[in-house]
Amino acid sequence: MVYRAKAPLRVSFCGGGTDVSPYPEERGGCVLSTTIDHYAWASVSPIAEDRIAISSLDYGLHRSYPNERLPYDGELDLAKGALNHFRALLGNLPSGVEVFTHSDAPPGSGLGSSSTMVATLVGGISEWLGTNLTHYEIAETTFKIERLDVKLSGGRQDQYAAAFGGFNFIEFFADHTIVNPLRISQDTINELEYHLLLIFTGGTRTSARIVDTQTERYRHGEAEAVEGLDELKQLTMELKNLLLRNRLDDFGRLLHDAWEAKKHLAAAITNEVIDSLYGQAREMGALGGKILGAGGGGHLLIYCPVEKKHAIASQMERLGGRVVRFAFESRGLQTWRVR
């Protein structure tokens, strides 16, 4: 039997940064996000041999280990973390296992691919072992593996987006997280999709350094960082209300304000390539947009008037960006079995 899983990558409209400790514990954070039809995939295959094999198509790696707790050495650590978690939970794994992973977007793309991959692994391994985790438990387990076990810097929104899927307003507090699914009409969803461009900027980045910088600035009480996160939280609530009321052009304009606020959190959030692409889009009539994820590279989201979208898309390609086709995905993590 082979146990498979997939989970959707996410687009975060606003609030990223307010989900990074210690801000949510001290002031409460929130994000507005949705998921798209690009996925992280995992296959989990029990084997008779007493070994663990991990293959990652994204990193071009295949490694084999003894069937025991796996060391973290900077290579395939997230997959190791998922296997180590369930080994500790159950006392041991019932057999050797082969794990294969790949993602529709590269690591560092700004679409939450790392967290989504871990959620996919948690889902696939849970399906194999029959642990029957809820969506909240999958997200919380994913967070623990990434942030506490493997000790990668970052927030906690991507894990919940991957597990639940769809449009969500997610609130973060000291001792709990609340996922609020948004009741948005299909007409609004279709219209928003029609207005948006997703542009790959041509480069990926390591988000941990950017996250560490903004976290340190917040910890030291730098006014620009604290006020910037507070402003992002307020803008997230306003964007949610505009979306629910189908005020999409106002939503697009407020995305611009949110991007301006986000840039105050750390200098590395933007660069010349991002500024050039976004600046040109704005000159051609785009109402707003933002870099996705922590920033510094990856994917740029742009809200365009429909009649100008194709011209803006062509110009982004001429400037070196790549238009990425997408549709919104309402489903979160899915698992299944193959004989």
End-to-end Cα distance, the chain: 5
Give the residue numbers marked as catalytic: 158
Cα–Cα distance for residue pair 26/174, rounded to 1 Å: 7
- Quick one: what percent of the chain has pLDDT higher than 90? 86
Residue at token pair 């948006």: 196
* Residue 117 shares a structural domain with residue 75: yes
Look up the domain containing 235 and give its range.
186-323
Residue 333 domain-assigned (yes or no): no
Number of separate domains in the chain: 2
- Domain at 68, CATH number: 3.30.230.10
Residue 294 has pLDDT above 80, yes or no: no
Strands 61-66 and 51-56 turn out to be antiparallel
329 in a domain, yes or no?
A: no
Q: What is the CATH number of the domain that holds 307?
A: 3.30.70.890
Residue 335 lies in a domain: no
Same domain, 52 and 129: yes
Residue 203 pLDDT > 80: no
DSSP H helical ranges for 45-96: 77-90
* Residue-level pLDDT at 213: 85
User: Given pLDDT bands bounded at 50, 70 and 90, which one contains residue 206?
Assistant: low
Instruction: Report the alpha-carbon angle 172-139-255, nearest 5.
Output: 50
Name the average pLDDT for the chain: 95
Position 207 scores a pLDDT of 65
User: Do 149 and 204 lie in a common domain?
Assistant: no
Which candidate, 50, 77, 79, 78, places its Cα nearest to that of 65? 50
Of 183, 203, 221, which residue is a domain's last?
183
The 10s digit of each residue's pLDDT in 107-134 is 889 999 999 999 999 999 999 999 999 9
Q: Could you tell me if residue 339 is inside a domain?
A: no
Whether the pLDDT of residue 220 is over 70: the answer is: yes
Query: Half-sphere exposure (CA, 13 Å, Cβ side) for 332?
Result: 23
